Structure 1
């Protein structure tokens, strides 16, 4: 049996095919009867040339095209033209019909959207929506942190003012305390004269002992008062203005592609709560259903 098939040429990963007529028993790169066309679907040219007259000749003589060759001939309109010829159409009618057929095919190719393009457009839209939501959350968190920092700064300024005021009043209090102590330590002149005239030697000794005791007591009191006044004022602890924004690990915080990859790479028991109830992205839901079925 004679077949019209493709014969591979070109180089590695850059194939170019010849449309040849050969015996079905000959090997792939074996002897051929005739070359009737050329198909290039890889290079920039992407040319397809066919010898319609010779192909018609071999088809009339019983040659059978392979599926790949038949698909190429149908795409080039050769089979449609041959069908019109078999129905006895004139050349003008065949030409008009072929032009109409090519125009309809080009219009359909422009409007037709492949499944791959649809998935890509869906992913791009979902990624834009996720990025928008993440930016909104980040701006809200930044505004909240700025407000808290402003409040903390106001509180710190007020505390600093109070500390400065207390430090300024501390020397005055200390001076007043020292003046009172000095006043208590100095005896009046009249008391001193009367004590000298009336006191006996024993009384003088008792007075001296009492005076020394009272002087020591007053000195201890002054030291304690000075220590209390000079003690540093405790600084209140500053409240931290920084707040950590917890990033909940869920599908809503990730792009559709990253969420699908995470679902595929993570065990099912570790994915509890990962897919949120409001998740509407098709790719994430499809990955989740596939994970549960696996």
Structure 2
């Protein structure tokens, strides 16, 4: 006879005992780095709060002043208008760079070469003092004396308009490269299939290619918008009455440079934080169906880690 109990003991897998305790791996280095970072941050905040040279009374006085809000209005409309101009013109330049026409490709490449190859500050100063190059702006027939429209350059190119042209044209050069990369990321078979259905090139670009390219275009364009908001501070060199221009006017009179720069920094931080919210939403919106869409934001990761820590602590207390 065969002892079946011995066979069953050899076939059945070994079951772990209920007394076996699972101990998670302790990441002591991560905890130590977290403690050091928090202590450093607390020390920095404490030193800034107790520093009398910051003059927090001056910061509180000008933080919500009318002059600051007037500058914020100019900063916001400059950012929105320059980004709109840059995106529209950049899309056109990107399509021209992808064109089979050597003339269109050459003109678009020359535009990108000029505005990406020179500093933005130089471009702002150039447009602000364009009247030194052309006293009058004329529209007429080239190489003749026939003129349909003529106006003084200083009358048309106010500091705000000069700032808009400088920011918008510079952004168009960078936006064109972003849009071009997005268009080239779309499978060429999509365009071929659309053409086989009788769709024209312009309709294919608008209905088929660009909607798919938005997944690649949106993240860097969101960063460009945030960067544009901060770059508007450079237009203070031509007195465009933006936030930084008004800040400079104030500390030129009261000599409180550091407190006024703190006011500017707080407002720029607040505006950048607000712009980050729609950027994150757009990234999730156009990133649906990809692994990137499932990524949690830094705030969600922090809240999730805190909730997990509290749940572990409560479970230990209950046991």
TM-score, scaled to structure 2:
0.20
Higher-RCO chain (CA-CA 8 Å, sequence separation at least 6) = 2
TM-score, scaled to structure 1:
0.22
- Greater fraction strand: 1
- Greater fraction helix: 2
